Amino acid sequence: MKKIGVLLSGCGNMDGSEIHESVLSLLFIDKAGATAVCMAPEMTQTETVNHPKGETTGEKRQVLAEAGRIARGKIRPITDVNVENLDALIIPGGAGPIKNLSNYAEKGADLEVRHDVTMLIRAFYTAGKPIGAICIAPVVLAKALNAHSPTVTIGDDATTIENLKTFGASHEAQPVDGICIDEANKLVTTPAYMCGPGIADIAPGIEKLVNQVIAMTKG
């Protein structure tokens, strides 16, 4: 049975992993007959947001613990992950990738990706294992692999599309239910909530992404 790593970054679209995108990823991994292995960095969230009010609070939450809510407690720190035991990696979107996995929300084109996240992504890449990224998460993927001129889709956000170019990535326009396949780098991306508007709209693209990532695995 194929084992697919799922890199989470908290719990909630405003300060962590987008829950719809994360759960759909887990659902379609399971439907495809594979096993999801959830992981997250051990760190304090950059900020915590009261989602009904859309306001930041002074509360401190831990990314790993919050992501564990989505994973029903079955989650591990990314530093404990052995890439050799996994077949692929998928990164759901939400604010987590741009606030916790990286500082894109603050720095824009000058973003830095967390070192442990960069090392994880590069380990999958070096091992020739496919990587999928959803919504805004392709920014993290493209930055971590900027030396390889990746091609991704990021929806229709003009600023982000322009920022991708500054670190050597190319953008491919795709509708909400479409996927961008970078065969050379074994990358698959889909816009999801960068286009939206709802869960029924984003589901087909995420299912295509999951199935394509699994199809690109070895064996």
Among all residues, which ones are annotated catalytic? 135
Widest CA span of the chain, in angstroms? 48
* Distances, alpha carbon 53 to alpha carbons 15, 35, 49, 69, 113, in Å: 13, 36, 8, 21, 28
- Point out which residues pair with 3 in neighbouring strands: 35
Peptide bond into 175 cis (omega under 30): no
> Are the C-beta atoms of residues 167 and 143 closer than 8 Å to each other?
yes
